[in-house]
Amino acid sequence: MIYITYIIVLVFFGIQAFSLVSILQHDTPKLRKQKNFPKVSILLAARNEEKLIRRNLEAMEQLNYPVDQIEILIGNDASTDCTAELVQDFIKDKSQFHLFEIDKTVGKGRGKANVLGQLAHKASGEYYFITDVDVKLPSDWVLGLLAEFDEKVGIVSGTTKCERGGMFATLQSIDWLHFMGYIKAFANASVGCTSVGNNMAVRAKAYWQTGGYENIDFSITEDYKLFKEVTSRGWEWRTTLREETLGLAWYIPEVKEMLHQRKRWLIGAQELPPNWKFMLILYGLFVPALAYVLLVDFKLGLYIWFAKFLLQSFFIIFLCIEVKRRPFNYLYLMVYEWYVLLNTMATAIFYFLPIKSVWKGRTYNAKYLKEG
């Protein structure tokens, strides 16, 4: 048993070290000046978002891109609050914004995928940009993602972290950046994972080669499904970690809601390729492995734990530097160490509990997946 534990620990540290070196060695070029401005369409699914919709739309209005070459298509997904009214009031004198009522299910699309699929039929751009209502985008977001496209690239992802605030919000911010850092670290080694569903762009031609969301088998993580379908058709992908494409998501205020989000992610992770499943399983196994070492050899366990904390902290600090954000102080990083351990255990327990996956007020059960 002890030998298996040490193997888990060694492989875990190997991945940590690789990720840190990958980020340190990668040189992010300066954003080149855009000479051509192709027509782009931003697709935004909105369901019961009255608290955050204006924050998102105000950021969209400030995007650094010619107004006559951008269209922002908003799909009101059967909201029961004031989302539609707030959008209508905001866009009434802004020609680049358009609101559509999504009141039916088309094909295999469900939830957000259903909205995006229908908005794509309304879009006229050469590229479809996709984000979420709770994300505040930087002014150069469109330019930053466009810069990654060449004739072979079909899909590009940016990086998202939570906006800083109180302790819980800041811990979520660290957690998002930490996880996104792994995706970028492996992307630097040409190992793909997924698209980031709240910060991505797909070439319209590549999207329609998949048949669109109405023809893609539904997944609760629709971003991964689109990434898989696009890349399986020979298109290349890119993942960016830079200031111009850093989205700021609003933090989740309640632990229960966050656990439902994590459960949704883990359900979607079942479709990931074996190498990423191995990564996730290993990450989860490190906690019980560390606990076992602490029981067998407490001093050695403390050394391992401290080494993990240092590697993890340096990785997060360099990620902050990469996106030109003030690094988190060591107090937050120390609290985050406990947050990660507790969150990993709580997520694992919640995942196996017979609790239905609920998101945006919808329960993703067999009836919904069948009928929409």
* Secondary structure (DSSP) of 233-280: TT-EEEE--SGGGEEEEPPP--HHHHHHHHHHHHHHHTTS-HHHHHHH
> CA angle, corner 145, sides to 149 and 131, nearest 5?
125
Residue 326: C-alpha distances to residues 5, 22, 329 (Å): 36, 21, 9
* Structural tokens at position 211: 């048949």
pLDDT in tens, the chain (372 residues): 788 898 899 999 999 999 999 999 888 888 888 888 999 999 999 999 999 999 999 999 999 999 999 999 999 999 999 999 999 999 999 999 999 999 899 999 888 999 999 999 999 999 999 999 999 999 999 999 999 999 999 999 999 999 988 899 999 999 999 999 999 999 999 888 788 889 999 999 999 999 999 999 887 788 989 999 999 999 999 999 999 999 999 999 888 888 888 887 777 777 777 777 777 787 778 889 999 999 999 999 999 999 999 999 999 999 999 999 999 998 999 999 999 888 888 888 888 888 776 666 666 554 444 455
Q: Which class for 361: exposed (0-12), middle (13-18), buried (19 or more C-beta within 10 A)?
A: exposed
Query: Residue 87's closest CA among 128, 119, 133?
Result: 133
Give the pLDDT score at 372. 53
pLDDT of amino acid 366? 46
**Spatial distance between the Cα atoms of 295 and 306, rounded to a whole number of angstroms:** 16
Give the C-alpha separation, 223 to 212, whole Å. 12
Residues in CB range of 40: below 8 A, 6 or more apart: 65, 69, 70, 71, 125, 126, 127, 128, 129, 142, 146, 201
How many C-beta atoms lie closer than 10 Å to residue 224's C-beta? 21
Which residues are within 8 A (CB) of 231 and not within 5 positions of it... i.e. 6 or more apart? 154, 155, 192, 237
Query: Could you tell me which of 95, 51, 53 has the C-alpha nearest to residue 72?
Result: 95
Task: With H, G, I as helix, E, B as strand and everything else as coil, classify residue 49.
Answer: coil
Q: Looking at residue 369, what is its pLDDT?
A: 46
Q: Choose among 200, 205, 226, 36: nearest CA to 123.
A: 205
Distance CA 158, CA 170 (A): 20
Strand-pairing partners, residue 236, are 153
- Structural contact between residues 345 and 291, judged by C-beta atoms closer than 8 angstroms: no
| pLDDT in the model for residue 204 | 98
Q: What's the distance, CA 56 to chain centroid?
A: 16
Q: Which two tokens stand for residue 24?
A: 């340190």
